Amino acid sequence: DGCHIASMGGTWMVAVYGFAGMRDYDGEITFDPRLPVYLDELSFHLRIRGQRLKVHITQSKATYLLEDGVELKISHQGKACLLKEGAEKSFKNKKSKRSRSAQN
Protein backbone atom coordinates (compact mmCIF):
# COMPACT_ATOMS: atom_id res chain seq x y z
CA ASP A 1 0.00 0.00 0.00
CA GLY A 2 1.06 3.56 -0.58
CA CYS A 3 3.91 4.96 -2.62
CA HIS A 4 7.30 3.34 -2.86
CA ILE A 5 9.69 6.30 -2.94
CA ALA A 6 12.61 4.38 -4.49
CA SER A 7 10.37 3.21 -7.31
CA MET A 8 9.18 6.78 -7.91
CA GLY A 9 12.80 7.96 -8.02
CA GLY A 10 13.66 5.27 -10.54
CA THR A 11 10.74 6.32 -12.76
CA TRP A 12 11.93 9.95 -12.61
CA MET A 13 15.46 8.86 -13.56
CA VAL A 14 14.16 6.93 -16.60
CA ALA A 15 12.32 10.02 -17.83
CA VAL A 16 14.99 12.66 -17.16
CA TYR A 17 18.26 10.75 -17.61
CA GLY A 18 16.93 8.25 -20.13
CA PHE A 19 14.38 9.88 -22.45
CA ALA A 20 15.58 13.49 -21.98
CA GLY A 21 19.23 12.41 -21.98
CA MET A 22 20.18 14.84 -19.22
CA ARG A 23 23.71 14.66 -17.83
CA ASP A 24 25.69 16.81 -15.42
CA TYR A 25 29.36 16.85 -16.43
CA ASP A 26 31.10 18.69 -13.59
CA GLY A 27 28.39 21.36 -13.53
CA GLU A 28 27.75 21.46 -17.29
CA ILE A 29 24.12 20.47 -17.88
CA THR A 30 23.56 18.67 -21.18
CA PHE A 31 20.52 17.17 -22.90
CA ASP A 32 20.37 14.58 -25.67
CA PRO A 33 16.67 13.67 -25.97
CA ARG A 34 15.62 10.32 -27.41
CA LEU A 35 11.89 9.80 -26.99
CA PRO A 36 10.60 6.34 -27.85
CA VAL A 37 8.10 6.26 -30.73
CA TYR A 38 5.20 5.60 -28.36
CA LEU A 39 5.86 8.78 -26.36
CA ASP A 40 4.75 12.03 -28.04
CA GLU A 41 6.13 14.47 -25.48
CA LEU A 42 7.77 14.84 -22.10
CA SER A 43 7.74 17.88 -19.80
CA PHE A 44 9.35 18.44 -16.42
CA HIS A 45 10.88 21.10 -14.18
CA LEU A 46 14.33 21.05 -12.60
CA ARG A 47 15.94 23.20 -9.95
CA ILE A 48 19.59 23.69 -10.88
CA ARG A 49 21.80 25.79 -8.60
CA GLY A 50 18.68 27.50 -7.23
CA GLN A 51 17.26 28.27 -10.68
CA ARG A 52 14.03 26.78 -12.06
CA LEU A 53 14.27 25.27 -15.56
CA LYS A 54 11.26 24.02 -17.55
CA VAL A 55 12.02 21.37 -20.18
CA HIS A 56 9.50 20.34 -22.86
CA ILE A 57 10.50 17.68 -25.39
CA THR A 58 8.58 16.39 -28.41
CA GLN A 59 9.65 13.99 -31.12
CA SER A 60 10.89 16.89 -33.28
CA LYS A 61 12.19 19.54 -30.85
CA ALA A 62 13.12 20.45 -27.30
CA THR A 63 12.26 23.74 -25.61
CA TYR A 64 14.00 25.14 -22.54
CA LEU A 65 12.71 28.01 -20.40
CA LEU A 66 14.53 29.47 -17.41
CA GLU A 67 11.47 30.40 -15.34
CA ASP A 68 13.34 31.65 -12.29
CA GLY A 69 17.00 32.65 -12.22
CA VAL A 70 19.51 34.94 -13.87
CA GLU A 71 21.18 32.76 -16.50
CA LEU A 72 21.97 29.11 -17.01
CA LYS A 73 24.34 27.49 -19.48
CA ILE A 74 23.11 24.22 -21.00
CA SER A 75 23.77 22.28 -24.16
CA HIS A 76 21.37 20.43 -26.44
CA GLN A 77 22.90 17.62 -28.48
CA GLY A 78 26.26 19.40 -28.44
CA LYS A 79 24.96 22.95 -29.09
CA ALA A 80 25.76 25.30 -26.21
CA CYS A 81 23.15 27.79 -25.09
CA LEU A 82 23.00 30.48 -22.42
CA LEU A 83 19.45 30.75 -21.11
CA LYS A 84 18.25 34.05 -19.64
CA GLU A 85 15.28 34.31 -17.31
CA GLY A 86 11.98 34.32 -19.23
CA ALA A 87 13.57 33.69 -22.65
CA GLU A 88 12.56 30.41 -24.28
CA LYS A 89 15.02 28.52 -26.52
CA SER A 90 14.05 25.68 -28.87
CA PHE A 91 16.23 23.21 -30.75
CA LYS A 92 15.40 20.60 -33.36
CA ASN A 93 16.15 17.07 -32.21
CA LYS A 94 18.55 14.99 -34.23
CA LYS A 95 17.15 11.66 -35.32
CA SER A 96 17.75 8.83 -32.92
CA LYS A 97 20.52 6.41 -33.84
CA ARG A 98 18.52 3.62 -32.23
CA SER A 99 16.57 1.33 -34.49
CA ARG A 100 12.80 1.51 -34.54
CA SER A 101 12.59 -2.07 -33.24
CA ALA A 102 14.69 -1.11 -30.21
CA GLN A 103 12.16 1.60 -29.36
CA ASN A 104 9.10 -0.67 -29.47
13: containing domain:
5-93
Residue 99 falls inside a structural domain? no
pLDDT recorded at residue 95:
77
pTM: 0.85
Q: Which of 84, 26, 89, 23 is nearest to 57 (CA)?
A: 89
From CA 12, how far away is CA 44, in angstroms rounded? 10
Q: Tell whether 104 is covered by a domain.
A: no
Q: Report helix, strand or coil for 12.
A: helix
Structure letter (DSSP) for residue 102: H
- Tally of structural domains, the chain: 1
Given this model, what pLDDT does residue 65 score? 98
Residues in the chain: 104
- 52: domain CATH number is 2.60.420.10
What HEC string does 18-67 produce?
HHCCCEEECCEEEECCCCCCCCCEEEEEEEECCEEEEEEEECCEEEEEEE
Position 21 scores a pLDDT of 97
Tell me, yes or no, whether 47 lies in a domain: yes
Give the bridge partners for 64, in sequence order.
Answer: 55, 89
pLDDT in tens, the chain (104 residues): 678 888 889 999 999 999 999 999 998 999 999 999 999 999 999 999 999 999 999 999 999 999 999 999 999 999 999 999 999 999 999 976 554 444 44
Q: Are 31 and 62 in contact (CB under 8 A)?
A: yes
Task: Please indicate, yes or no, if residue 100 is contained in any of the structural domains.
Answer: no
